[in-house]
Amino acid sequence: MLIDTHTHLYSEEFDGDRTEMIQRAVDAGVKRFYIPAIDSTYTRRMMDLERNYQDIYLMMGLHPTSVQPETYEQELKLVREWLDKRDFWAVGEIGIDLYWDQSTLREQRIAFKTQIGWAKEKGLPIVIHCRNSFDEIFEVLEAEKDDRLFGIFHCFSGTKEQAETAIGFNMKLGIGGVVTFKNGKIDKFLNQIPIENIVLETDSPYLTPVPYRGKRNESSYVSLVAKKLAEVYGLPEQQIIGITGKNALSVFEKH
* Mean pLDDT for back-to-back runs of 10 residues, the chain (255 residues): 97 98 98 98 98 98 97 98 98 96 96 98 98 97 97 97 98 98 93 98 98 97 98 98 98 80
CB 156 within 8 A of CB 129: no
Look at residues 173, 217, 180, 179 and name the one whose alpha carbon lies nearest to residue 198: 173
Domains and CATH numbers, the chain: 2-252 (3.20.20.140)
pLDDT at res. 254: 66
Sheet holding 30-35, edge to edge: 2-4, 30-35, 56-58
pLDDT at res. 255: 52
What backbone phi and psi angles, to 5 degrees, belong to 133?
A: -150, 30
Q: 139: Cβ–Cβ under 8 A, 6 or more apart, which residues?
A: none
pLDDT at res. 6: 98
Burial (CB < 10 A; 0-12, 13-18, 19+), residue 182, is exposed
Strand 91-97 and strand 56-58: the pairing is unpaired
Sheet holding 198-200, edge to edge: 91-97, 126-131, 151-153, 171-175, 198-200
pLDDT at res. 92: 95
Q: Give the integer Cα–Cα distance in Å for 54 and 198.
A: 25
